[in-house]
Amino acid sequence: MSKPAIEVKNMSMMFNLNSEKVDNLKEYFIKLLKRQIHFTEFWALKDINLTVEKGDRVGILGFNGAGKSTLLKVIAGVLKPTEGTVSVSGVVAPMLELGAGFDSNYSGKENIYLYGATMGYSRKFIEKKFDEIVEFSELQNFMNVPVKNYSSGMRARLGFAIASAVEPDILILDEVLSVGDAKFRKKSEAKIMSMFDKGVTVLFVSHSVDQVLKICNKAIILDHGKIIASGEAEEICEEYNKMVSGGK
């Protein structure tokens, strides 16, 4: 068996919550000298162990504030874990928030190159994919319009089209399948399904159990920064439904 796609070992992520507000430099230094700056430690994730094999499609379920997005950010390399290690093999395409890398004064066409570069792809590569991206986003007539004049649906469509065009090894999806109208949603679901055939590894966050069942073969439940259940998608979804209806 080859190396797992994602391996998370004893990973914890801590944030400092300021217990008192220090809003100017003078106060900060005085408090620092008096050692009065206290932080409340907040462990968003605690001792996470997770191994994802290549080709696995893992759904991540959990209530708000359970640490789902933090986990995805750590795996995507945006956040550095406080403790433990995360090793990822392969090209990661994070779809955390579509269109985050857009510059609103830039036209759609220019943004395709910019966004592609943000994800680490060369101009040549994007040039090859350009027509595919434009066609998928259905924004042919808007390519020279600044993105600031786009509707949020158009933005999301363009973002999705770029992020999905790059054939990653690992796809990180954070509730992105709820964008656009029903037609586009179907299309993007179909696009992601077609990526599965190429053996892409997926991490999928959603509040919709149905979507998780449709897409994933495995699932985990996060609660207060800990993995409380992991296994086959059906079992876990059932358990999650129980948690939801039982008011926990």
Partner 1 sequence: MKYLRNFYKYRGLMYEIVRKNIKLQYRDSILGMFWTFLQPLLTTIVLVFIFGNVFGKSSSGVVNYPIYLLCGRLLYEFYSQSTKRAMRSIRNSASVIKKVYVPKYIYPISNVLSNFITFFISLIVLVCFIIFFCVTGKNPPHITAYILLSPIPILILLILAIGIGLILCTLDVFFKDIDYLYEVFCLLLFYMTPIVYKIDALKISSKLFSYVLMANPMYSITEMFRCCVLYGEMFNIHHLIYSLGFALVSLFIGLLVFYKKQDKFILHI
Question: From the CB of residue 97, how many other CB atoms can be counted at a distance below 10 Å?
Answer: 13
| Complex with partner 1: residue 50 or 162, whichever CB lies closer | 162
Which CB, 19 or 245, lies closer to partner 1?
Answer: 19
Question: Are 146 and 154 within 8 A, CB to CB?
Answer: no
Residue 237 C-beta: closest distance to partner 1, Å: 28
The nearest distance, CB 113 to partner 1, in angstroms, is: 6
* Nearest distance in Å: CB 136, partner 1: 20
Residue of 197, 172, 199, 194 lying closest to 55 (CA atoms): 199
Cβ-based nearer residue to partner 1, 123 or 186: 123
CB 16 to partner 1: min, Å: 7
* Joined tokens for residue 217: 């073969």
Task: Indicate the residue among 92 and 200 with the shorter CB distance to partner 1.
Answer: 92
Least distance to partner 1, CB of residue 146, Å: 9
Looking at the Cβ atoms of 90 and 101, the one nearer to partner 1 is 101
SS3 content of the chain, % helix, strand, coil (to 5): 40, 25, 30
Closer residue to partner 1 (CB): 47 or 110:
110
Residue 64 CA to residue 69 CA, distance in Å, equals 10
Residue ranges binding partner 1 (CB under 8 A) = 15-16, 24-25, 76-80, 92, 94, 96-97, 100-101, 103, 105-106, 110, 113-114, 116-123
In what side-by-side order are the strands of the sheet with 83-88? 39-52, 6-18, 83-88
CB of 28 to partner 1, least distance (A): 8
For tokens 């789902």, name the residue. 68
Rounded distance between C-alpha atoms, residue 125 and residue 142, angstroms: 22
Q: The tokens of 53 are what? A: 């094999």
| Rounded-to-integer distance, Cα 174 and Cα 217, Å | 17
